[in-house]
């Protein structure tokens, strides 16, 4: 696997293999602690991040590898006008694998042309975020035991939220899925996803505006932050930012085994009174992100068979 730019770059089999490997890692982390010895991961973040960058670094360190990189475009030669392609070309001379985040949609795809090492998209604008998708899939698999036959409600900023776009694409390939999109009119799922994905594959979906109207049906509710940085107009952001605040009352009628997911950071979308509720799984997602990135780094470096996974 030489790159991961879009969640659709992974076949269903590859996703299943990564999830299996992550689950083996969870069972016995110590067996994996030297797999990436002498390997270097570069994390190039042209856009802010807490979880994604640190979980990549934590994953590589947990595999015995080393990390380098920058967490702010201002401290890189991007400020001197260097192209993203030249930056990646350069960094691929210093590292064995690169994870990059960029505010522009498509930047990782452009950079890929000159990367001499495997390249991972850690989020590009409002487009895609495949490693968050792997995190979400691992969490769903661990909580529900399956990735098919589920009703999932995506709630919040479905227009700009790249984690939604990415996860939706991945889940669209599993059978018997039902998607319910909960958003204000202005933040609906983009037309291209409706036409090219949902309608083209004849998937079961509908759009609503209120959580309370659909909560009883859901196996999963995937909350998202209104993506302030992608708005053209601050007034619109202020008007829309608190449209959804999930609290005990709003999920009163949910199934007992509903799970609440959120890629985080949360601003106001989930009241903290839910944090200790057994349905809240957003910090389990954080934990899973580390393990699935360990599985991904190993696989992209061709080291997925280094540990004999069936030995007792
Ligand atoms: C998300 C992102 O960066 O797209 N965060 C993450 O990577 N866990 C979601 C967000 O910023 O709202």
- Site to probe by mutation for ligand 1, drawn from 58, 128, 164, 263 as the one with most ligand atoms within 8 Å of Cβ, is 263
CA of 210 to the centre of ligand 1 (A): 23
Query: Using CA positions, which residue lies closest to atom 11 of ligand 1?
Result: 265
Pocket of ligand 1 (CB under 6 A): 51-52, 123, 129, 132, 162-163, 225, 263-265
Cα angle value 235/239/241 (rounded, 5°): 110
265 CA from centroid of ligand 1 (Å) = 6
How far does residue 118's CA lie from ligand 1's centre (Å)? 22
Whether residue 37 lies in the annotated active site: no
Given a contact cutoff of 8 angstroms between Cβ atoms, the answer to whether 52 and 101 are in contact is: yes
Distance 47 CA to ligand 1 centre (A): 11
Give yes or no for a contact between 295 and 21, defined as CB atoms under 8 angstroms apart.
yes
Among 29, 31, 51, 178, the active-site one is 51
Residue-wise pLDDT tens for the chain (312 aa)?
A: 899 999 999 999 999 999 999 999 999 999 999 999 999 999 999 998 999 999 999 999 999 999 999 998 887 888 888 999 999 999 999 999 999 999 999 999 999 999 999 999 999 999 999 999 999 999 999 999 999 999 999 999 999 999 999 999 999 999 999 999 999 999 999 999 999 999 999 999 999 999 999 999 999 999 999 999 988 889 999 999 989 999 999 999 999 999 999 999 999 999 999 999 999 999 999 999 999 999 999 999 999 999 987 655
Residue among 121, 111, 137 at smallest CA distance from 222: 137
3-state helix, strand, coil in the chain (%, to 5): 40, 15, 40
129 is catalytic: yes
102 noted as active-site residue: no
Q: What is the DSSP letter of 311?
A: -
End-to-end, the C-alpha distance of the chain in Å comes to: 28
Q: What pTM does this model have?
A: 0.96
87 counts as catalytic: no
Residue 129 C-alpha to ligand 1 middle, in angstroms?
8
Closest-CA residue, ligand 1 atom 8, reads 263
Short-list 211, 203, 227, CA closest to 129? 227
Residue 163 falls in the annotated catalytic set: no
pLDDT for position 144: 98
Q: Which residue from 237, 152, 155 is spatially nearest to 203, judged by alpha carbons?
A: 152
Task: Tell me which of 39, 53, 101, 169 is the catalytic residue.
Answer: 101
Count of CB atoms situated within 10 Å of the CB of 37: 11
Ligand 1 atom with least separation from CA of 162: 4
């Amino acid at each position: 696997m030489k790159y991961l730019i879009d969640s659709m770059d992974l076949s269903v089999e590859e996703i299943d293999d990564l999830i299996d490997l992550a689950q083996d890692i969870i069972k016995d982390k110590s067996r994996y602690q030297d797999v990436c010895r002498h390997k270097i991961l570069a994390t190039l973040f042209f856009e802010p991040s807490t979880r994604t960058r640190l979980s990549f670094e934590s994953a590589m360190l947990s595999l015995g590898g080393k990390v380098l990189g920058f967490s702010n475009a201002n401290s890189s030669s991007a400020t001197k006008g260097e192209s993203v392609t030249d930056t990646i070309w350069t960094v691929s001379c210093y590292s064995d694998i690169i994870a990059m985040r960029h505010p522009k949609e498509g930047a990782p795809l452009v950079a890929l042309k000159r990367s001499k090492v495997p390249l991972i998209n850690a989020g590009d604008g409002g487009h895609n975020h495949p490693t968050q998708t792997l995190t979400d899939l691992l969490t769903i698999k661990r909580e529900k035991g399956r990735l098919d036959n589920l009703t999932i409600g995506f709630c919040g900023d479905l227009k700009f939220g790249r984690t939604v776009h990415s996860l939706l694409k991945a889940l669209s390939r599993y059978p018997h899925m039902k998607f319910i999109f909960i958003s204000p009119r202005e933040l609906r799922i983009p037309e291209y996803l409706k036409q090219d994905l949902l309608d083209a594959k004849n998937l079961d979906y509908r759009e609503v505006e209120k959580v309370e109207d659909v909560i009883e049906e859901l196996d999963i509710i995937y909350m998202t932050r209104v993506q302030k940085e992608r708005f053209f107009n601050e007034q619109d952001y202020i008007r829309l930012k608190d449209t959804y605040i999930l609290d005990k009352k709003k999920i009163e009628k949910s199934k007992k085994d509903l799970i609440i997911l959120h890629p985080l950071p949360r601003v106001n979308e989930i009241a903290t009174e839910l944090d200790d509720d057994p349905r809240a799984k957003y910090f389990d997602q954080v934990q899973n992100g580390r393990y699935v990135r360990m599985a991904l780094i190993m696989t992209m470096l061709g080291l997925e068979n280094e540990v004999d996974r069936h030995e007792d």
